[in-house]
Structure 1
Amino acid sequence: MLKSALFRRKKSASTSKPFEIFYKEWFATLADTLLPQLRRALSSVSTSPALLSAQVDAMHHHLRSYYENMELAAVEDVAQCLYPGWRNSLEKPFLWLADLHPYLFTNLLRSFLDDQESEDGDVLDTIREIRQSREFLDERWHVAVAWRSPSKALTTRVDQIECGLRLMVPALAARARHAQMTLVRSVGAEWGRRPDGVKTAVEEALAAEMEELVGVVVDANRLRKSVLADILSVTSVYQAALFLEALAEFLVGFRDNKLLKEFDKCKIYVSIDT
Structure 2
Amino acid sequence: MFKSPLFGRKKTTTRPFADFYNDWSTTLATTLLPQLRRALSSFPVSPAVLCTHVDAVYNHFHAYYTALDQAAAADVAQCLYPDWRNSLEKPFLWLGDLHPYLFTNLLRSFLEDQESSQDENDDFGYDVASARESLYTSWHVAAAWRSPSRALTARVDQIACGLRLMVPALAARARHAQAKLVRNVGAEWGRKEGVLKAAVAEAMATEMEELVGVVVDANRLRRSVLADVLSVTSVYQAALFLEAVAQFLVGFRDEKLLREFDKCERLSLNYAN
TM-score (norm 2): 0.89
> Hey, what does 1:82 align to over in structure 2?
80
Secondary structure of the residue that 1:119 maps to in structure 2? helix
Contact 2:9 2:75 in 1 (8 A): yes
- Residues in 2 aligned to 1:161 and 1:62: alpha-carbon distance in whole angstroms: 22
2:110 pairs with 85, 100, 112, which one? 112
2:181 pairs with 180, 183, 208, which one? 183
- Residues in 2 aligned to 1:240 and 1:4: alpha-carbon distance in whole angstroms: 44
- Following TM superposition, by how much is the alpha carbon of 1:202 offset from its aligned partner in structure 2, in angstroms? 3.5
Q: 1:132 to 1:201 in 2, by over 3 A?
A: closer
Alignment of 1:154-233 (within 5 A): 154-194=152-192, 199-233=197-231
> Hey, what does 2:16 align to over in structure 1?
18
- CA deviation profile, 1:77-123 (whole Å, cap 9, x unmatched): 11111111100111011110000011100000000011111111344
- Following TM superposition, by how much is the alpha carbon of 1:8 offset from its aligned partner in structure 2, in angstroms? 2.5
Question: Where does the alignment leave 5 or more consecutive residues of structure 2 unmatched?
Answer: none
Alignment of 1:19-98 (within 5 A): 19-98=17-96
Q: 1:191 to 1:229 in 2, by over 3 A?
A: same
Name the amino acid aligned to 1:211. E
- Residues in 1 aligned to 2:22 and 2:77: alpha-carbon distance in whole angstroms: 18
Q: 1:7 to 1:127 in 2, by over 3 A?
A: farther
- Residues in 2 aligned to 1:196 and 1:93: alpha-carbon distance in whole angstroms: 40
Aligned residue pairs, count: 263
Q: 1:241 to 1:181 in 2, by over 3 A?
A: same
- CA deviation profile, 1:26-46 (whole Å, cap 9, x unmatched): 111100000000111111113
Question: Where does the alignment leave 5 or more consecutive residues of structure 1 unmatched?
Answer: 270-274
- Residues in 2 aligned to 1:85 and 1:197: alpha-carbon distance in whole angstroms: 31
Contact 1:130 1:141 in 2 (8 A): no
TM-score (norm 1): 0.89
- Residues in 2 aligned to 1:115 and 1:129: alpha-carbon distance in whole angstroms: 12
- Residues in 1 aligned to 2:134 and 2:230: alpha-carbon distance in whole angstroms: 30
Name the amino acid aligned to 1:166. R
> Hey, what does 1:272 align to over in structure 2?
none
- The percentage of aligned residue pairs carrying the same residue is 70
> Hey, what does 1:266 align to over in structure 2?
264
